Each structure stands twice: as structure tokens, then as C-alpha cells.
Amino acid sequence: MPFLRSTFIALSRNRSLRRFGERSRIGVKLSSRFVAGMEINDALRVTEAVNRQGMAVTLDALGESVTNESEAHRAAEIYHQLLDAIAARKLNANVSVKLTQMGLELSSDLAETIAGNLAEHARSIGSFVRIDMEDSSLTQVTLDIVRRVHAQAGMRGAIGIVIQSYLYRSQADIDQLLADGIRVRLCKGAYKEPAGVAFPSKADVDANYIRLSCKLLDSAVYHGLATHDPKMIEAAKSYAAQHDIEPSRFEFQMLFGVRRDLQRQLIHEGYNVRIYIPFGREWYPYFMRRLAERPANVLFLAKSLLKS
């Protein structure tokens, strides 16, 4: 449903609705399906519960596009606290970071310094930082920063990246990342992109996802396949079985609150599963993008609202 997707993506950028939603009781209630809570302890509590179910976690403190350097450092401090908590509680978890939250739109040097410090902290506790991919205008600078941090002495394996299968450029980007030995999370992509940079049809995005996932599975590096699409999952499982790729060499990744049945099924079948757990008061843009991705999410929330 392209119209529905475009509508929710447009709504994700509406500042008035965002202010209302993030401050209203009903908005917070609806967001709880996909957002673990407002505070660090909420996210840690959910992480522990997910770990007990046999699944790993990546934690995301929600927020985008800070407006000054002090905001960027405050956002980074939340991630340092998360990394300390992961180590102290011995959680099976890492963190996911948006560079715009670390000041990328203010200064690429600022964002790179903060990302490097987080990766160094993660490395020191045996964890890992994943840099999220944002819209296509930021793809190249995000790749450049991740590659430079990863190339620093002692930092190999401490930082990874997200690649979106709806971009034409993604195959070439993955080839470079594999040559560098950088861990990749492959997803389809959740931003509205110009026709000149992204595949316009779902069929083409899906075909590219399968193509790129096979390339990642062939790699000696441990990667994540982020999808709730049974066809994409079955394609990966089939390719791995045909090429004697052990389930321990990769993981499936899913969003908190989406396809819990499928998450449990994959664990039962012996696959590694990691759940992306977002939290924080700036939840609105993330929430609207989740609604844009799957019409079923809209129906679920409508039913929940009618029952309340």
C-alpha cells in the first residue's frame, strides 16, 4: 500500500503531531507496542526478559537530529550508560546509534569523535556499536565514518553498520564493507527516497534483499538479516542449508513488538535472533515509520484503541 506508507512517513515529520503524541497519555500507550519505555531502566528490564527467552538485543535510545553540540554529548552519555549497564548486568546486548543524534548535521568530525568513543567503550567491555543508516543523503558520510573508525588500531569488529536493500548503491557498498571485514545489518529501508536512488517497486527491493543476504551469508564475518518477511527468512534459511552455512554464523533481527510468533519459531529452530529494542521520550518518528512499514501494525493498534 504505497499511499498508506507515504502518508505515515509524511506524518512522521509533522512537528505538531509529534509534540501532541509524545506528551499525550494515549500516544504513550499506543507506542508501548513498539517502544520499550521512556527510561533506561525500562529498556534494561525488557532486555533481561528478552534474554531469558534466548534472544539477543540491540538497544536504541530514540532521538534524531540534535541542534547543538551539548545535545549530542548528552545523547552519547545515554549510550555510555547503556554500555556500562550491559557490562554490569552481563546482558546479551549491544547498542544502535544514529549519527544525526550524535551531531552529524552539525559537524561530521563531532559525530565521528562521538562514534569512535562509543565504539572504544563497547570494545573495552566486549560489546559492539551498530551505526544505523538514515536517509540516502547521509549514506556516504555514514559509511565513511564507520570505515574510518573500524580501521583504527584495535577497533576491528567494534563497530558495524546498516545497509538498506532499496538503494541501488547497496551492492557496491556491501562489497566494500565485506572487503573491510565490517559487520552489516541488512534491512529493506524505511525512508521515502527519490526515484533516482532507490528501487521503486517492492518486488525489486525484495529481490535485492535476497541477493544481498546471500552475499552476506557467504562472508566469514557475522552479519544480521533484519526482516519480518517470511519469504526473505525462508530464502536465507534455504541458501544457508544449501551451502552448509551453520546457523551460528549469522542472526535474524526483528523489531520489539513485531512478529513475536516468528521470533519464537526461529529460536525453536536453532537460529540466532536479535531484537531491536528502542526506548525514550522521542519515540514519535520511529513509531510512525513502523506503521508505514506494515499495514497490519495499523490494524493492531486500531483494535487496541477500540478496546481501551
- Contact assessment for residue 256 and residue 235, using Cβ atoms and an 8 Å cutoff: no
Q: Which residues are catalytic?
A: 132, 185
**Per-residue pLDDT averaged across 294-300, rounded?**
53
Assess if residue 21 is contained within a domain.
no
Q: How far is CA 287 from the centre of its chain?
A: 13
What pLDDT, on a 0 to 100 scale, did the predictor assign at position 280? 82
218 in a structural domain: yes
Q: Mean pLDDT throughout 220-236? A: 96
Share of the chain above pLDDT 70, in %: 80
Say whether pLDDT at 305 is over 50.
no
The mean per-residue pLDDT over the stretch 283-288 comes to 66
Q: d(Cα 83, Cα 123) in Å, to the nearest integer?
A: 10
DSSP secondary structure string, 225-247?
A: EE---HHHHHHHHHHHHHTT--G
Residue 156 lies in a domain: yes
Return the pLDDT at 38.
81
Within 15-107, residue ranges assigned H as helices are 15-23, 25-31, 40-52, 69-89
State which residues form the domain around 73: 36-282
Is 244 exposed, middle or buried, given 0-12, 13-18 or 19+ CB atoms closer than 10 A? exposed
Decide if pLDDT at 296 tops 60: no
- pLDDT surpasses 50 at 255: yes
pLDDT digits 0-9 by tens, 29-73: 555 667 888 889 999 999 999 999 999 999 999 877 789 999 999
CA–CA dist 60, 104 (Å, integer): 17
Residue 17 lies in a domain: no
Rg of the chain over Cα atoms, rounded to whole angstroms, equals: 18
In a domain, 158, yes or no: yes
Q: Alpha-carbon distance 21 to 306, whole Å?
A: 18
Q: Distance (Å, rounded) from C-alpha 286 to C-alpha 11?
A: 11
End-to-end C-alpha distance for the chain, whole angstroms: 27
100-131 pLDDT, tens per residue? 999 999 999 999 999 999 999 999 999 999 99
Contact between 97 and 78 (Cβ < 8 Å): no
- Cβ-count burial 276-302 (b if 16+ within 10 Å, e if not): bbbbbebbbbbbbbbbbbbeebeeebe
- Coil, helix or strand at residue 252: strand
In this prediction, residue 291 carries a pLDDT of 64
Which regions of 165-207 does DSSP assign to beta strands (E)? 184-187
**What number of residues does the chain have?**
308
> What is the residue-wise DSSP string for 87-129?
HHHT-SEEEEE-GGGGTTTT-HHHHHHHHHHHHHHHHHTT--E
User: Which domain CATH number covers 89?
Assistant: 3.20.20.220
Question: According to the model, what pLDDT value does residue 304 have?
Answer: 42
Check residue 65 and give its pLDDT: 76
Contact 225, 253 (CB under 8 A): yes
Q: What is the average per-residue pLDDT within 269-292?
A: 81
Least confident of 74-78, 135-139, 215-219, 253-257: 253-257
Rounded to whole angstroms, the Cα distance separating 299 from 283 reads 20
Q: What is the pLDDT of residues 162-213, one digit of tens each?
A: 999 999 999 999 999 999 999 999 999 978 788 899 999 999 999 999 999 9
CA dihedral 86, 89, 93, 97 (to 10 degrees): -20
Q: Regarding predicted confidence, which is higher, 282 or 300?
A: 282
Tell me if 221 is assigned to some domain.
Answer: yes
Identify the CA nearest to 116 among candidates 150, 87, 144, 143: 150
Total domains in the fold of the chain: 1
Element (H, E) at 201: none
Within-domain flag for 1:
no
197 domain-assigned: yes
Residue 251 in grid coordinates:
542472526
Q: Are 93 and 47 in contact (CB under 8 A)?
A: yes
